[in-house]
Structure 1
């Protein structure tokens, strides 16, 4: 008899649980609607329809995101993104907390992001660890062409569900490219200037780099490419002399290598270079030289106006 009573009590408890489970879910308990996007590493990743705590693991992606969404939807920001000369979205970046200088797995998890957007150079172990913890993590390639930058802007917009804004920036950049090409038509090939962009960061300036591709649009000769240097070759003294640049660009931003310009300005071997003789060793905002975001058209126009100051006047004739 006692066994029957016990069984009856258990049955009633299960029935109550089932009835409670059939009731309407609160908004907080509901599972967010999930879309699937393709990650650069070949994985189909389920992402929230409207992510609210997005974390990018790259200052370049920070800038893209800040052009697409409000700062409060970011779970953290790269320190470089808060520097005025490094990011054209720095003012909005300063509204985001915490500020990060590195991305260890434990720190990322502690921020409780609902979406992580990672560049392709982030360790596969970190990507696996985040996904293992149930955090939607999408890998996006690092662009080396202007077209690649445009694709990145549109892809990141799609990942976070902001396709309309991605299309807006696509159209904006192409309008700026049309203006760049129009301006370039007035510069004969034999009057184009040769520019050397020097950086303490490898891979950003030489043959095959994003800056190299930007030069093709800007009617500028990228010095390493012009003398046939392979990608990622250091610029030794003899090579710089062979480049004979008309301009030398130094990226300017908080935390930059203060001695970078002096390596050229104070080197006796370089004193006959056109860039030195004509006082054309120019600090330019890093935001223009390292631009992998929606501002790439603006950046190319700014660089063109620096190299060809007459264009600014011509464009308003």
Structure 2
């Protein structure tokens, strides 16, 4: 009879052990990550199907994890004139219209957005129970690097993220060394773009120009990001060159119409003989991922009118082995 209580205790212990182990299996792998909003985002497991809503986030994400982690790709990822990941994403499902239904159909483990994203869409996706993780819509190089940290945290690839940032810093150090060695007055450039209110003080472009060792004529002319180009700003800037971002195919007609209209004005037409025209692919002007370092180099070459940075393979700044 004395053995019966001991047997009951043993059975009870085994039952509790089984119950505990079952509880662990339902939450195994669960973790949380703090996003750019400072919000803690909970995930049931390490994400294997990640969807973002923009080119710069897809580019940044692919420096941290391979393409097999993407549930889909932004439609402009495949445009080589604008994207550094056209080859990597060529087999992925492209998304042009982001609706709650389209996002749900791709079954992402997490939807990655930025403060440039549609807040109403974000709200609806969260209401569907899909975790939403915020990054920056970067206006500084520091925010690009922070996006790497955030996505590395989200994917539990912190060591990989640190390697990506180290690669960026090596590129930036090289750029600083080369541009600091240039003698004389820094060239002044004015951006001509369909995004006619982009590029003034406070924009990412403004910092990329400064890091490239030349002067952004928009900010020199007193324009802040979001303000339209004006004749007064051009007169104040006294530019050495116009930087014209070459369009990708679907935008070609719009760009040509814009330039024709711009130089139809006698004031702007009068500048053609004294101000250089420098054309450069969109991806070097607008990129907001770690590959923006390539844009700094290309824009610097055009600003100085000579090769400061020879052509090189423009590979993704991955922190992992292929």
Tell me the TM-score normalized by structure 2: 0.80
- For 2:258, the equivalent position in structure 1 comes to 260
Q: Does 1:200 align with 2:194?
A: yes
Q: Does 1:243 align with 2:243?
A: no
Instruction: Quote the Cα distance in structure 1 between the aligned partners of 2:44 and 2:300.
Output: 41
User: Which residue, 97, 115, 129 being the options, matches 2:110?
Assistant: 115
Alpha-carbon deviation of 1:212?
0.5
Instruction: Quote the Cα distance in structure 2 between the aligned partners of 1:109 and 1:312.
Output: 44
What secondary structure is seen at the aligned counterpart in 1 of 2:123? helix
**Worse overlay, 240-249 or 222-231:** 240-249
**Worse overlay, 239-248 or 164-173:** 239-248
User: Which residue, 74, 78, 87 being the options, matches 2:74?
Assistant: 78
Q: Does 1:227 align with 2:227?
A: no
Instruction: Quote the Cα distance in structure 1 between the aligned partners of 2:225 and 2:240.
Output: 21
Runs of 4+ residues over 4 Å off in structure 1: 29-32
Instruction: Quote the Cα distance in structure 2 between the aligned partners of 1:101 and 1:250.
Output: 26
**1:88-109 Cα deviation digits (max 9, x unpaired):** 1111121211x11221122111
- For 2:282, the equivalent position in structure 1 comes to 286
User: Which residue, 167, 173, 188 being the options, matches 1:172?
Assistant: 167
**Worse overlay, 198-207 or 68-77:** 198-207
**1:72-130 Cα deviation digits (max 9, x unpaired):** 32111111111001111111121211x11221122111211111101113233322322
| Contact 2:197–2:229 under 8 Å retained in 1 | no
Tell me the TM-score normalized by structure 1: 0.81
Alpha-carbon deviation of 1:286?
1.4
Give 5+ residue unaligned stretches, structure 2. Answer: 1-14, 311-322
| Contact 1:288–1:299 under 8 Å retained in 2 | yes
Instruction: Quote the Cα distance in structure 1 between the aligned partners of 2:115 and 2:91.
Output: 27
- For 2:139, the equivalent position in structure 1 comes to 144
Alpha-carbon deviation of 1:223?
0.6
- For 1:130, the equivalent position in structure 2 comes to 125
Q: Does 1:55 align with 2:43?
A: no
Instruction: Quote the Cα distance in structure 1 between the aligned partners of 2:73 and 2:221.
Output: 39
Instruction: Quote the Cα distance in structure 2 between the aligned partners of 1:299 and 1:292.
Output: 10
- For 1:269, the equivalent position in structure 2 comes to 267
**1:153-203 Cα deviation digits (max 9, x unpaired):** 222122122222211111111111111111111224x52111112332365
Q: Does 1:311 align with 2:308?
A: yes
Per the alignment, do residues 178 and 113 of structure 1 end up closer, same or farther by CA in structure 2, a change over 3 Å counting?
same
Question: Higher relative contact order by CA 8 Å / sep ≥ 6: 1 or 2?
Answer: 2
| Contact 1:35–1:46 under 8 Å retained in 2 | yes
| Contact 2:243–2:279 under 8 Å retained in 1 | yes
**1:4-54 Cα deviation digits (max 9, x unpaired):** xxxxxxxxxxxxxx9xx97x98xxx95561221112334210135431110
Instruction: Quote the Cα distance in structure 2 between the aligned partners of 1:128 and 1:312.
Output: 44
| Contact 1:51–1:73 under 8 Å retained in 2 | yes
Q: Does 1:88 align with 2:84?
A: yes
What secondary structure is seen at the aligned counterpart in 2 of 1:138? strand
- For 1:8, the equivalent position in structure 2 comes to none
CA RMSD of aligned residues (A): 2.6
Matches within 5 A, 1:6-17: none
User: Which residue, 285, 292, 296 being the options, matches 1:296?
Assistant: 292
| Contact 2:242–2:276 under 8 Å retained in 1 | yes
Per the alignment, do residues 71 and 136 of structure 1 end up closer, same or farther by CA in structure 2, a change over 3 Å counting?
same
| Contact 1:81–1:87 under 8 Å retained in 2 | yes
What secondary structure is seen at the aligned counterpart in 2 of 1:311? coil
Instruction: Quote the Cα distance in structure 2 between the aligned partners of 1:150 and 1:229.
Output: 26
- For 1:46, the equivalent position in structure 2 comes to 42
